[in-house]
Amino acid sequence: GEDVEQSLFLSVREGDSSVINCTYTDSSSTYLYWYKQEPGAGLQLLTYIFSNMDMKQDQRLTVLLNKKDKHLSLRIADTQTGDSAIYFCAESTTNAGKSTFGDGTTLTVKP
Amino acid sequence: DAGVTQSPTHLIKTRGQQVTLRCSPKSGHDTVSWYQQALGQGPQFIFQYYEEEERQRGNFPDRFSGHQFPNYSSELNVNALLLGDSALYLCASSPDGTGRPYEQYFGPGTRLTVT
């Protein structure tokens, strides 16, 4: 079945770039997403990429997709303390609605 | 414009009891999905409702059931609660019956604790 894996923790200094990595197993994944979850809150969709794309940039966020290796990354430029949160990678196929999530990467930004 | 709302915020139940969680989708959305997020884990898909029917289901037992009303709001029911059902239950809505996850908005969740 589908599986999504992420490293559990990442710590960076304010102003540095953060890179969060994710691997997935389902070769039929069509959509890949990054969500942010702050303490006590639901999930906020940060960005997504279609499987026919290699890269997507949205302000401070850059998503890179290596479909051959089934590897997805999220780069946050100029990381701020407000970026401290749990970041989830997720994937879905063309099946409507069902997304498979990783267990999240806790990003800690130190001043 | 209100986003996705869920009630209650927190709930404590005893093993064996039954619970009902509620969700109101974002205005203009007609598809509702439910997820279970155990502590320290990512959300797991329970099921999705569209046009008052369960359209897709994840790997959850029949103790988990749901309903969607004509106004698109939805309920999640869990019978015979187990300790392992303790989790944050997230509702997500999306528009136009597509269920396209990239147009999916999540609510703040209901924290269920089973003792």
| Spatial contact of B106 and B23, defined as CB atoms under 8 Å apart | no
Judge: A42–B31 Cβ closer than 8 Å, yes or no.
no
pLDDT, averaged across chain A: 91
pLDDT band at A93 (very low <50, low <70, confident <90, very high): confident
pLDDT given at position B99: 63
The residues that bridge with A102 in the sheet, in sequence order, are none
What's the pLDDT at A95? 53
Q: Write out residues 51-90 of B within 8 Å (CB-CB) of A.
A: 55-56, 58, 90
Q: What is the pLDDT of residue A97?
A: 66
Closest chain B residue by Cα to residue A41: B108
Reported as a single tens digit per residue, the pLDDT across B51-93 is: 999 988 999 999 999 999 999 999 999 999 999 999 999 999 9
Segment (H or E) for A104:
none
Using a CB-CB cut-off of 8 Å, the residues of chain B touching A35 are 106
User: What single-letter DSSP state applies at residue B84?
Assistant: G
| Nearest chain A CA: its distance from B115 CA (Å) | 21
Cα(A29)–Cα(B114) distance, rounded to whole angstroms?
A: 35
- Cβ–Cβ of B99/A97 closer than 8 Å? yes
Comparing CB atoms, the residue among B98, B101, B107 nearest residue A99 is: B101
Q: Is the pLDDT of residue B2 over 80?
A: no
Between CA B3 and CA A91 the distance in angstroms is: 23
Residue labelled with tokens 């303390």: A81
Beta bridge partners of B39: none
pLDDT digits (tens, 9 = 90+) for B93-102: 988 666 676 7
Q: Where do the DSSP E strands lie in A1-111?
A: 4-6, 9-13, 18-24, 31-37, 43-50, 55-58, 61-66, 71-76, 85-92, 100-101, 105-110
Is A27 within 8 Å of A69 (Cβ atoms)?
no
**Sorting pLDDT into bands at 50, 70 and 90, what band is B11?**
very high
- Model confidence at A41, pLDDT cuts 50, 70, 90, reads confident
- For chain B, the first-to-last Cα distance in angstroms comes to 37
Task: Pick the residue from chain A with its C-alpha nearest to B110.
Answer: A42
Residue A96 binned pLDDT confidence (cut-offs 50, 70, 90): low
